[in-house]
A and B are shown apart, each in its own frame.
Chain A
């Protein structure tokens, strides 16, 4: 894998990304939120976040916004990941291992199918 580090390389990345975007159709933007409070981090939120970033990078998934939030008051269910697609209601997942995180991206964010066995009923 070539080392890309300079800002010139980043400019190329930008050009490439913009060209890809033109081909992409607007397919309902998704937002993925990872709980990064002390409780979440201690429970493995960084590994969940890492799995999410790696999956999006590797599978070349467009139009996903990744963000983080503090403790949302369900520390025992951490790591917690929430998914919002378009104007559909937010889905909250608990006990998200890296594997579950990958499934959430592949099945829910890309495939539109909720990963039911890890949903926290709110």
Chain B
């Protein structure tokens, strides 16, 4: 996987599999701090200390529960190669939080990729989850609140063509400033 937004999709999949009903994803880019931070938090079933310790080991995965696969170890390696880190906090019954930091300008840092596509398919394919999605690039901010959208839609499904159109435009519009860095509108 050569895009951070694909890794986010993968991590979100772990949260879904953990039975989370609230999943927060935040992507924070700071040109001043020269940092790119990805954070995913969920209220899923969580992991105990033993499982947590093994999570970044590629040869451990609880296949039946499918909590973690190859994605996390590879991402940890990629982050550390870019002067960054990958950390996971988790508590059984409470949830899991994962934070990945990259040096933003590092030559080997994976591109963020198409975050709008990742966000779009998460909210559409798992409409019942309360997705709280956010993106920040210096002083530009975008956020999406699934609960609000779901309540407004009422009984109209997310897979309705008109709703798909709304979600796609919302994500594309909100995230179009993500790259390249030089084209950020000054607010």
Binding site for B on A (CB under 8 A): 1, 3-5, 7, 9-11, 13-14, 16-18, 20-21, 34, 36-39, 41-42, 46, 49-50, 53, 56-62, 64-68, 70-71
Q: Considering the complex of A and B, which 7 residue pairs feature the smallest CB-CB distances, nearest first?
A: A38-B69, A68-B125, A57-B164, A38-B71, A17-B156, A60-B161, A17-B162
Assess A42 versus B1: contact at CB under 8 Å? Given A5-B169, A36-B13, A56-B161.
yes
Report the Cα distance A33→B170, complex, angstroms.
Answer: 24
- Residue B173 interfacial (CB < 8 Å): yes
Residue of B nearest to A33 (CB): B125
Partner of A53, one of B17, B71, B154, B168: B168
**8 Å CB interface, B149-180 against A:** 149, 152-154, 156-157, 159-166, 168-170, 173-174
What is the CB-to-nearest-CB distance from A60 to chain B, in angstroms, rounded to a whole number? 5
Which of chain A's residues has its CB closest to B69's CB? A38
Q: Which residue, of A3, A53, A62, A67, has the highest number of chain B Cβ atoms within 10 A? A: A53
Supply 4 further A-B pairs (C-beta < 8 A) apart from A38-B13, A68-B125: A37-B69, A41-B9, A68-B13, A70-B66
A64 partner residues in chain B, CB cutoff 8 A: 159
A7 surroundings in chain B (CB, below 8 A): 148-149, 152
Q: Which residues of B contact A (CB under 8 A)?
A: 1, 6, 9-10, 13, 16-17, 66, 69-71, 117-118, 120-121, 124-126, 148-149, 152-154, 156-157, 159-166, 168-170, 173-174
Give the secondary structure class of B's interface: helix
Query: Once the chains bind, are A70 and B118 in contact (CB under 8 Å)?
Result: no
